[in-house]
Structure 1
């Protein structure tokens, strides 16, 4: 299968200073999640690291740019010159704020088109869903969902860290570093993939599962 991928590397920092990195190193959990070899997981992506397994799962999420008028199962997702979504065919997705119903009823991604380069705007990233999501519109946010113990669809989990930089998915092990403590610094929230309110504390300034990761709305 032919596939065009692109790196969204840039000089734009995602932290206001140098945060702490969790020691020991981790591998991307390619068994617990689906990934496409050669794709790039963006810097600043919310992550869940496990110090026992030494594996990291990420929160796959993206903002909707457009829902096709003629085929509402085709959804264009936001990209820029610094990052793009990292969904894979077979991922189940729902709209953030409306994650309900059984896991079996959640639409899955059946195709991904990110092969058309546009100057100054990165790649086009269009997903085709197995079923339309009622009421989905531009500005909404899609997130990967998983199955809970009652076979209901739920968000993957609460992030306890963020990816320190972007990582290209390897055919073999993909080593990643995460930050679980931004110290006196903060993550530029507007420079990374969307961070839903469900992942933040009541103030919106920290991750709810790890208050040592501070967020800032500054540019």
Structure 2
């Protein structure tokens, strides 16, 4: 008898994994997909960094986004591409062991990007940089929070949803949340620079 999880697949627009079958290794068994504070029906894309626990059988996504315009050293408002998974209250950061401060507002009125405002600047951030929701806060204390895999397929947020997490495989780096630091944190997932 199963644990009662359900799975709702969505249709992905482009593949993010190279190969299939024996080329991709999943963590054994499914995991209860935690909502992460986002609305039911929100789609979390395949390749999103994940934190899973084999004891509790729960998995959560690392909230990420991509900055679309250079931000100065004293900035408290950052332009982030639509489709990010950040929310008010997340600790906004660019790299591990750097500044991370809570998001106080997300303005979604622009059609091209959202303006993410933090209570204290995290410093200059270059366009196209990955930003993420740190598990910790402080001037030099940001963290990926134990990220240990990537989401196997697009996942819809909802009650009782299950997910699969890739622990070994090859991903198209240009199609998923990517930074050199994230690549280092997931050494068994190869990040291909192919298109």
TM-score range normalised by the length of the shorter chain: 0.7 to 0.9
Counterpart-to-counterpart distance in 1, 2:96 and 2:26:
31
1:216 correspondence with 2:192: yes
8 A contact 1:74–1:127 mirrored in 2: yes
1:176 correspondence with 2:163: yes
1:1-219 aligned at under 5 Å gives the runs: 10-18=12-20, 19-30=24-35, 33-66=36-69, 72-79=75-82, 84-96=83-95, 99-100=98-99, 106-114=100-108, 117=111, 124-147=113-136, 153-170=141-158, 172-182=159-169, 186-194=170-178, 196-201=179-184, 207-208=186-187, 211=188, 213-219=189-195
- After TM superposition, give the deviation of residue 25 of structure 1 in Å: 1.0
8 A contact 1:34–1:90 mirrored in 2: no
Determine helix, strand or coil for the equivalent of 2:51: strand
CA RMSD of aligned residues (A): 3.2
Counterpart-to-counterpart distance in 2, 1:153 and 1:68:
20
Determine helix, strand or coil for the equivalent of 1:65: coil
Structure-2 change in CA distance of 1:37 and 1:52 (3 Å)? same
Gaps spanning 5+ residues in structure 1: where? 1-7, 101-105, 118-122
Counterpart-to-counterpart distance in 2, 1:87 and 1:24:
28
**TM-score, normalised to structure 2's length?**
0.76
**TM-score, normalised to structure 1's length?**
0.68
Counterpart-to-counterpart distance in 1, 2:71 and 2:49:
28
Determine helix, strand or coil for the equivalent of 1:85: coil
Gaps spanning 5+ residues in structure 2: where? 1-9
Counterpart-to-counterpart distance in 1, 2:14 and 2:40:
25
Counterpart-to-counterpart distance in 2, 1:61 and 1:37:
18
